[in-house]
Chains A and B, each alone.
Chain A
């Protein structure tokens, strides 16, 4: 077959500057953005690395070395938040990948009301996170909420979604999945429709059933979509704050605390140095997880 193979990742374009000597001209275009990026992102990040090593009371700061980091890992409340973060990120990104793929397959097939269903699936992504959090907090009220009322109609005694210590984090994760699956579906839809028709025809000619079609054609060729969804939802899950804060504030007790809410609570209590140290830990944790993951996912990309 004369299908020309294109490289999955195009070769890096040669910079204009290299043609005919090093021209600084392109640099001038980059400069304003660089200044904004530097002042608003790089400088505060570097400053926060310094303040994480201090005891900071907004009026004074006293250098204490790694004391904040040691404290972060010693206190049970803080380590519980660390563990919860990983659980939360794993659950939400795993579910978003699976559900996103399933919905993506469904919404790229010929079903009735496809356009309407696409809108319905994507709509939660657009709504304010805090609004969603407050709404679901009301819906999940164990005695007065609509969810348990609906379950009661069919005879099921609904649990205390947000007040049961073992369920609180899971309930928030479920709402997070509901809210974020639309974006994953969108990315998967783009990945699936970009698969050239020749592959489907070739597979059908070779006698592939729908499961084989999925496993050997659709899933490998939509791998860029999978890696994007995994990376984005993992980063989002590790950093998640708004939903947890508006639904449970990390409660009951410490059971649904994640790193971001722990950081915010330290900030609220006025321990600015400790809070900044938490942020540095989160920064390092996210990089330590996502960088190798991205490389692993990119290596498995099948060339189209």
Chain B
């Protein structure tokens, strides 16, 4: 059949029209956020790796803006990493492959020990930038003889956020012992409100009954953390330590949990708390920022109290230290000097003020000279009261590097009624063995 030019031209034209966009896709998106060789006007540019969520990025940006104003010759670019276990792996991988940006923030305490700080981080001992850091924080970023980080953010507590309006309406007092807690819960349930909110779609929130109880364990036995690290104390066999697990089971067995505990997330839990359909929510006080974003008008209604143990006299808060900012060994020369300037800024009253301006503090800053403003949320005021009266002690992860990865699943099982507390505690003891052996601890 003779070739008809008109049809073949139409076909060719059609083909070109269809394929042209693919050629455009070859255009790269350009360098998104990667740092240039050097900043404008001969200054230094450094990159700071921080969390990818909105709150983390907003916090870092506030610091960067204030810092660049005070130090016009340094530019700081932000890079992002996910939170949780994915972020842990990313940090470890980038440190191992030497591709970590000039500055990064990460947890302090046991997670800090796991990134091989003596091998991967630049020591900051004795430098002026760490002079203002409070001595209570320094052990959390110390490995061997050297200090490796400065605190970033506020300390916070692990305990129970409660709806003060509900408590006032029912004439209830903040419980100081576990018996009072169950009593209060019974009265709340009788009024048709869910006493305890749980949010098991965010599995990490299920750990609060166990981890937030540590102040009571340490009050009963100050040596417990040490014994735990050397495999002499265990959750399953210690009558004080197992109480965290038992409390969780008791709350489930008494039917005090909200009906949708298995299918909601942190934000939904905050909404229920703010709306008053749930009265108490065991959570970290740092999550007041979530509360602020879902129910900003109800901030005044929500207070905070520490998880009670058996003894009202030793009632106190289990405290978490803030994350820290570190400098990897791959940062050298001008960038190292600029990084140290940034760290010095973060560990100074100017840095604290920059953070306060963008997100509500959730506890005290651990830097000398940093003050909390008077208009912080009620939750923060309650947490600060525990710090002021000295009724607080560090969480286990700051006293011992041993923490198993499966705790959140075990506590979800206990809180869902799948497993008993005794079983769960024994399972967790087995689980931490892996972590201890991985860290090469003696006695395991």
Q: Mark A residues whose CB is within 8 Å of B.
A: 55, 57-59, 62, 71, 75-77, 141-143, 160, 162-163, 165, 249-255, 265-271, 274
Q: Mark B residues whose CB is within 8 Å of A.
A: 85-86, 88-89, 92-93, 96, 114, 116, 119, 200, 203, 259-260, 262-263, 405-406, 409-410, 412-413, 416, 418-419, 427, 430-431, 434-435, 437-438, 440
Interface contact A58-B262, CB-CB below 8 Å: no
User: Whose C-beta in chain B lies nearest to the C-beta of A74?
Assistant: B430
Q: Which chain A positions have C-beta within 8 A of B86? A: 268
Q: Given known contacts A77-B406, A77-B427, is B263 in contact with A254 (CB within 8 Å)?
A: no
- State A271–B431 Cα separation when bound (angstroms): 12
Q: Given known contacts A251-B412, A254-B409, is B263 in contact with A58 (CB within 8 Å)?
A: no
Interface contact B409-A142, CB-CB below 8 Å: no
Query: Of A77, A252, A254, A268, which one neighbours B85 at CB under 8 angstroms?
Result: A268
Cβ contacts A to B, 8 pairs, < 8 Å? A57-B116, A77-B406, A143-B259, A163-B262, A163-B416, A252-B200, A269-B406, A274-B434
Interface contact B203-A160, CB-CB below 8 Å: no
Interface contact A77-B434, CB-CB below 8 Å: no
Interface contact A253-B262, CB-CB below 8 Å: no
Interface contact B427-A165, CB-CB below 8 Å: no
Q: Which chain B positions have C-beta within 8 A of A266? A: 405
Q: Which chain A positions have C-beta within 8 A of B93? A: 58
Q: Which chain A positions have C-beta within 8 A of B409? A: 77, 250-251, 253-254
Query: Of B262, B410, B418, B434, which one neighbours A71 at CB under 8 angstroms?
Result: B434
Q: Which chain B positions have C-beta within 8 A of A71? A: 434
- State A265–B408 Cα separation when bound (angstroms): 12
Q: Which chain A positions have C-beta within 8 A of B431? A: 75, 77
- State A252–B264 Cα separation when bound (angstroms): 12
- State A251–B93 Cα separation when bound (angstroms): 27
Q: Which chain B positions have C-beta within 8 A of A163? A: 200, 262-263, 416
- State A271–B440 Cα separation when bound (angstroms): 12
Q: Which chain A positions have C-beta within 8 A of B406? A: 77, 254, 265, 269
Q: Which chain B positions have C-beta within 8 A of A253? A: 409-410, 412-413, 416, 418-419
Interface contact A270-B89, CB-CB below 8 Å: yes
- State A249–B409 Cα separation when bound (angstroms): 10
- State A267–B430 Cα separation when bound (angstroms): 18
Interface contact A160-B434, CB-CB below 8 Å: no
Query: Of A62, A76, A160, which one neighbours B262 at CB under 8 angstroms?
Result: A160
Closest Cβ of chain A to B144, distance in Å, is 15
